[in-house]
Each structure stands twice: as C-alpha cells, then as structure tokens.
Amino acid sequence: MKKYSDLVNEIKNSNKFKNSTWGSINPEYVARMQLQNRFKSGIEIAKYNASIMRKDMDDYDNDSSKYTQSLGCWHGFIGQQKLISIKKHFDTNDKKYLYLSGWMIAALRSQFGPLPDQSMHEKTSVASLINELYTFLRQADARELAGLFRELDKTSDEKQKNEILNQIDNYQTHVVPIIADIDAGFGNEEATYLMAKQMIEAGACAIQIENQVSDEKQCGHQDGKVTVPHAEFLAKINAVRYAFLELGVEDGVIVARTDSLGAGLTARIAITKEVGDLGDQYNSFLDTEEVNETDIKHGDVMINHHGKIVRPKRLPSNLYKFKEGTGEARCILDSITSLQSGADLIWIETEKPHIGQIAEMMNEIKKVVPNAKLVYNNSPSFNWTLNFRQQVFDTWESKGKDLTQYKRNELMDEKYDSTELAKEADEKIRTFQADAANEAGIFHHLITLPTYHTAALSTDNLAKAYFGDDGMLGYVKNVQRQEIRQGIACVKHQNMAGSDMGDDHKEYFAGEAALKAAGKDNTMNQF
C-alpha cells in the first residue's frame, strides 16, 4: 500500500478534486477510508493470501521450524477475535491462518440445524462463511486504523506524529489465508468447480478436498468411510485448479486429503487398462477371493486381476471391502498420486497423534516427491492426554523402566497428573507441532474444533456462576474483570461493533452537524 501522506497528496492533486464540485470532500478522509478498506473484493484477498502461502511453503522447505498454524472458526466474530488476539500477543500474524472445517459448518452453520459431518449441510455454507470472516477481518483493520487516525489528530508532538504515521504506513492487516474445506466436492466435478469458484470469489486462497464418496462422506474420525478411485478424485482436483485459473488466482493452493487410513470400503472398482496402472494399483488393495467358473453365483461381480478371476467382497450396501492392514499403503499411494497430479499439499487423516506413524508414511512419500508437505489435523477427537501418556508408557516399557505405579488403561486418571510420566507426556504434547514439523514433514498444523469447545466451556462456566449463588458477580469476576485486566479489546463492545468508526464517518459526511455516540455519557468511557 502507498504511504498515508503520499496517498493524501495524490488524491488532493487529482484532477477530479481540482475540477469538480467536491469541495466538501476532504482528501485526507478519503485516504483514510481507502487505507481502512485495502481489499476491494474477495479475488483481491485470494490473490494476496495465495502469494503469502506460497512464500510460507518456500520458507518451510528451507527451514522446518517455520511451519504454519491455524484454528477452526465457525463465525466471523470468532475469527476476528482470534486475529486481534494474535496481533496483541505476538505483534504479528505471520504464518497464522484460519481454517474452515466442514465439521463446524455442519454442526453450527447449517440451516437444517446441528448436523454430523457427513456432507449434509448446504453447499453454499462454506462460501458464505468465508465472506463473513473476511468482512469481520476487514472491519478489524478499519477499527484499528481508525484508532491510529484519532491518535494522529489528537497529538501536536511531531515525534509522536511520526511514530503514528510509521504505524499506519507499516500496518499489518488482519486478513490472513483461509484453508477452506470443500469436503468431497458435493457432487460431480462440475459441481466441485462451481462451488470452488464461489469459495475463491469470497476470498479463499486454499481449498482442501478429500477422496471420500461425495455426499456420503463420514467425519474423519468416524467409522464407515468410503473412498473413490484416483481418477474420480483427480478430476475434482483439476476442477478446483481450473476455478483458480479462471479467476486469475494462479498461486491458489490445493490441499488433497486422503481418508484411506480409516476407510475400509470403496464405492467403485477402478477402471484399469493394463497391469500396474493407477486403476490396477487401486484394485490390488481390494479384498478378493480367487474363483473358478463353477464358483460364480448369480449377481456376482468378477474381475480379471493379473490373469486370475477374483471376486471382490461386496457388502449388502453395494460397497467393496479393502484388505485389512492396507490403509497406510493406500495413504502413501493417494498422496503421491495427488502431488503428481496438481495438488500442492497433502493431508493424511490419522486415528491418533503419533509422530512416528506420520513420519513413516511421509518418508515413503518423500522418496517419490522430496518436497512433499503435510497439512495435519491436531484433532480434538483425539484424547491427547491419554494418547501421549500411553506413548510414554510404551517407550518406558521398551526400555525396561519400572512401571509398577502405573496402569496403562487408567492413565487419564488425575492421580497421575503430577507424576514423572505425565510431565514427560505433557512436554511431548507441548512440542508436538515443532517436533512433527521437523520429523514428519508437517507444514501446517490446524485444530478444527477448539472454538467449538471453548464456546461450550466458557458458556458453562458463566451459566453455573451467574444462575447460581454468585449471581452478577459470576459475570463481573470471571468475565468482565478479566477482560479489563487482560486488555481484551472486546470489553469495549460498542467500539468493537464499529460505533467509533460510525462517529468518524458521521463527521466526514456531516461535519459539525454530526450527532455522535461517543460523547461524555457513553458508557464505554468507564473502561
């Protein structure tokens, strides 16, 4: 963006201002409004953030400690407050993203009401939420810059003025990349393309798509998951890429997710033309039995597999079973195929947070695609405490360490919280992201559902106190007092909602005649 003073002068000296009836329009106010709204469209946002993601990917390739992170967000306000908090605590939002989980869309944003994550929510819900999030993030920019402009107007000290101008000129936006979950595309490849366009037009620079059966998908950590042959999935990756290119977002990022580790079923037998092709590799994982002509029954499906007639095991649901224990091999093949066919990042959904398991698969993938990078779900569906305590237990057991005071299946019990084992497990949880980024190729760490859980927890705590014996003190002590002392901007909720900006605009538009809300009697002056 241009420097504030340069922009003011440019506007002031333009012919439109010199030779018009705009005498009541203040060029300085125009410059302020332009700086407060630097992104004029979702496409601008998508292009801006796509370039950031590409830079971040390059940074990670050069130094694995430079991984990226995101939290799942289900409302514009939640995303806004997250970014405000990040900037407050860390002075930068570098390498911090937003993630739009299909799970939370289904559970919290569907017009049908709360739903499981099974692709049953409205197809346009994700695009709508992207638009909402960027509306709130752009408002966070406008609010913060408005505060700087007010400070600029109040001071007559030149040194202080220059410091404020420097903050304005070097302002870092709250608008960060969004990785948006398009599920399995909600239909065929044309439907996927159309929905991808909506998401990109809303501002998404990265779209995550998964290889489950469209419109029949299951949540990543539930049973009954069904994958599709590679050709079907790759057609949808192509559809997303075409959507990016049509809209001029050449740096757009595609995240190809595989659920093969937990998917024991497939919807279709793959088309294969010769031994060893992609369809043949997919079919090789099918659970089959060799038969001869006399064994064939009415309605049986047979395939000629490497010169043998075999019967794939078909369920009453008309789905076909994969061989037990083939999940990791299928994940590896899925990931390599996706990366060789247009995907930029891969996502492997696992059943537990285990760096060794993740690294084993990533090492195999990197033999073929050396710069492969993983997006990983640090899922709230995992019992992190129990998983890591059991991992430490198993490590200690392998080393012959005395474990008589511990019972492996009871390690969640709080009686273990102060033990050496629990402390080591907690340290492994604390360093999980850095360790996994270094050892297992994880470029982006996300948590899909933290704001779902924090909303529930904080509401429970408030309800228990406010409707109990604490009464109003339950809110004042546990919420408002903490907001004030921790410097939570939202304590001035009228300011957060845009009241002060509204006053600024009224003054721009009406001058001295403006009726402002921020007078001496405004209750926000108490904070």
The single residue of 205, 219, 331, 490 carrying the catalytic annotation is 219
Residue in 506, 513, 519 with CA at minimum distance from that of residue 29: 506
**Encoding tokens for residue 336?**
């390599």
CA-to-CA dists, residue 30 to 35, 229, 230, 514, 516, angstroms:
9, 55, 53, 18, 20
Phi/psi of residue 23, nearest 5 degrees? -60, -30
CA-to-CA dists, residue 371 to 35, 58, 64, 339, 342, angstroms:
38, 10, 11, 10, 14
345: left (phi over 0), alpha (psi -120 to 50) or beta: beta
Sign of the Cα torsion 377, 335, 50, 130 reads negative
Beta strands at 253-258 and 206-210: parallel, antiparallel or unpaired: parallel
Residues 6+ apart with CB under 8 A from 106: 114, 115, 116, 117, 118, 119, 120, 121
**Encoding tokens for residue 260?**
């093969």
Residues 6+ apart with CB under 8 A from 363: none
Terminal Cα distance for the chain, rounded: 33
Residues 6+ apart with CB under 8 A from 247: 43, 46, 197, 200, 201
Phi/psi of residue 214, nearest 5 degrees? -60, 135
Q: Which residues pair with 127 in a beta bridge?
A: none
- Radius of gyration of the chain, Cα coordinates, nearest whole angstrom: 27
Residue 506 CA to residue 510 CA, distance in Å, equals 6
> Measured in whole angstroms, how far is the alpha carbon of residue 87 from the centre of its chain?
18
CA-to-CA dists, residue 305 to 270, 314, 335, angstroms:
12, 16, 24
Angle between helical axes of 4-12 and 158-169 (0-180°, round to 10)? 90
Spatial contact of 119 and 183, defined as CB atoms under 8 Å apart: yes
Coil, helix or strand at residue 429: helix
> Measured in whole angstroms, how far is the alpha carbon of residue 21 from the centre of its chain?
48
205 labelled catalytic:
no
Residue 62 CB-half CA count within 13 A:
6
Q: Which residues pair with 311 in a beta bridge?
A: 289
Residue type, 482: Q
Residue in 21, 36, 22, 27 with CA at minimum distance from that of residue 7: 27
Catalytic residues: 219
